[in-house]
A and B are shown apart, each in its own frame.
Chain A
Amino acid sequence: MFKINVQSEPFDAGKEIAQLTEGRTDIGAITSFIGLVRDFNERPEVKALTLEHYPGMTEHQLKKISQEAQSRWPLLGIRIIHRVGRLEPSDLIVLVIVASAHRQAAFDACNFIMDYLKTQAPFWKKEHTSSGDYWVSSRVSDTEAANRWRV
């Protein structure tokens, strides 16, 4: 039902979607989200970033988030890949694919998973810029986005 990977290797979203839908005739909608490294964040000229995670707990949290999404919407599949290690601007960081019979569940669940991933999965970004390295701070807007889903 769901597959979760935390890895340093790049991913291919097309391949992942093909794998998720292979041999299935019940899926009517697929939504996906891909997050990329920007060259401008809290400071300009971001040259690279290093993503750290908490092995074991990160996977556990992503699984819990997926289970929560599955309990809220009628989903047919979830695929999450999050990269860790050193990444450069334009590199892909995260992929979330959600499959369902109808589009609304897939849209909402994908949005929900990203909001929760951003506030509950233990990942931390350190950005390397021309003016030095710093740990990225969490955003209030991310917390507010996650709070929208409270029941």
Chain B
Amino acid sequence: MTQLTHIDSNGQAHMVDVSLKQITTRVARASATVTMNQNTLDLILKGKHAKGDVLATARIAGIQAAKRTAELIPLCHPLMLSKVSVDLYEDTSLPGIRIESLCKLTGQTGVEMEALTAASVAALTLYDMCKAVDKTMIISDIRVNEKQGGKSGDWLYTDKQTSTTHETKDFEKNNIKVSDEINQDIKPIYVRFFAELRDHLKEDELTIQIEELMEKNFPLTIEGLSQYLKEKYSEMNTVLNRSGLMVAINHQVSEKKSPFSAGDEIAFFPPVTGG
């Protein structure tokens, strides 16, 4: 049984010292649902609600909340989040709204509390915006769906456990650490090369398994990826040391220190010469 890290040897609550933890790219996804009357849902989706655009307001509220998690949860570290996204989807099976949040940073602590806070506050905001027309709304299923990065490895929520007396045991059994058994579920990254770089390598796209980088302790940043590529393929030295080399992650201009995550498309290219 894992020790609770927020309780010290005297049983007192304390904030964990993370200064010796490795800096890695961490991602957490969480979700929540708000079940409501079909009429309330229709009102929200048609944008006819008296208080205005409910979904947009809830989304912004979730993003704002993620940034304030450290002020709300006593032992949470203040974090420099590099990305927060909150998406709201119609779920006709509820009926209601499903909220999905994602938080990301490169640092020494996980971001699941931020993702949970984002989903929770987005749900609360939905309730606030709609309570005048529907007081029976139910906020439920607030949970972490996925964690990436950090000491305890990658983790995915699997929807199999049943609420029996063996709950804890089932929970551990069904929520397998990705590194142990469902490795193939981590998406690779796609590395692309353009113009003279492609001509030099005679290759325009490589698929790289993230675990390979992690096993060899390369950080999940552009710099880490470059080092890994240079170590693995000698011809990469010329290409990745080219002066003025540019790089993009998912079409966004990026830098050496920029972190990436599973499924990202990373492109290396020489200085541009259009116009």
Identity of the chain B residue whose Cβ is nearest the Cβ of A134 in the assembled complex: B196
Q: A94-B275, A117-B275 are in contact. Are A135 and B270 (CB under 8 A)?
A: yes
Q: Are A35 and B272 in contact (CB under 8 A)?
A: no
Q: Are A123 and B251 in contact (CB under 8 A)?
A: no
Q: Given the complex, which residues of A lie within 8 Å of B274, measured CB to CB?
A: 51, 53, 82, 93-94, 117-118, 121-125
Q: Are A137 and B251 in contact (CB under 8 A)?
A: no
Q: A57-B251, A57-B267 are in contact. Are A52 and B272 (CB under 8 A)?
A: no
Q: Given the complex, which residues of A lie within 8 Å of B246, measured CB to CB?
A: 122
Q: Are A118 and B195 in contact (CB under 8 A)?
A: no
A136 within 8 A of B: yes
CA distance A35 to B274 in the complex (A): 10
**B230-275 interface with A by 8 A CB criterion:** 244, 246, 248, 251-253, 267, 269-275
Determine which of A56, A57, A114, A124 lies in contact with B273 in the assembled complex, contact meaning CB atoms within 8 Å.
Answer: A124
Identity of the chain A residue whose Cβ is nearest the Cβ of B251 in the assembled complex: A57
Q: Are B275 and A124 in contact (CB under 8 A)?
A: no
Q: Are B269 and A122 in contact (CB under 8 A)?
A: yes
Identity of the chain A residue whose Cβ is nearest the Cβ of B271 in the assembled complex: A138
Q: Given the complex, which residues of B lie within 8 Å of A136, measured CB to CB?
A: 273
Q: Given the complex, which residues of B lie within 8 Å of A124, measured CB to CB?
A: 194-196, 269-270, 272-274
CA distance A70 to B271 in the complex (A): 25
CA distance A136 to B192 in the complex (A): 20
A-B contacts, CB under 8 A, total: 72
Q: Given the complex, which residues of A lie within 8 Å of B244, measured CB to CB?
A: 138
Tally of contact residues, A, Cβ under 8 A: 27
CA distance A37 to B185 in the complex (A): 48
Q: A124-B194, A135-B196 are in contact. Are A54 and B275 (CB under 8 A)?
A: no
**B181-228 interface with A by 8 A CB criterion:** 192, 194-196, 199
1/0 per residue A59-79: CB within 8 Å of B? 011000000000000000000
Separation in Å of the B222 CB from the closest CB of chain A?
15
Q: Given the complex, which residues of B lie within 8 Å of A129, measured CB to CB?
A: none
A21 within 8 A of B: no
Q: Are A118 and B196 in contact (CB under 8 A)?
A: no
Q: Given the complex, which residues of A lie within 8 Å of B196, measured CB to CB?
A: 124, 135
A126 within 8 A of B: yes
Q: A57-B267, A135-B196 are in contact. Are A122 and B275 (CB under 8 A)?
A: no
CA distance A136 to B195 in the complex (A): 10
A32 within 8 A of B: no
Separation in Å of the B219 CB from the closest CB of chain A?
24
Q: Are B270 and A123 in contact (CB under 8 A)?
A: no
Q: Given the complex, which residues of A lie within 8 Å of B267, measured CB to CB?
A: 54, 57
Q: A52-B195, A126-B195 are in contact. Are A118 and B248 (CB under 8 A)?
A: no
Identity of the chain A residue whose Cβ is nearest the Cβ of B196 in the assembled complex: A135
CA distance A57 to B246 in the complex (A): 13
Separation in Å of the A56 CB from the closest CB of chain B?
5
Q: Are A114 and B269 in contact (CB under 8 A)?
A: no
Separation in Å of the A140 CB from the closest CB of chain B?
10
Separation in Å of the A69 CB from the closest CB of chain B?
15
Interface residues of A, Cβ cutoff 8 Å to B: 35, 51-54, 56-57, 60-61, 82, 93-94, 114, 117-126, 135-138
Given A123-B273, A125-B273, 11 new contacts (CB under 8 A): A53-B274, A54-B251, A60-B251, A118-B275, A122-B194, A135-B196, A135-B270, A135-B273, A136-B273, A138-B270, A138-B273
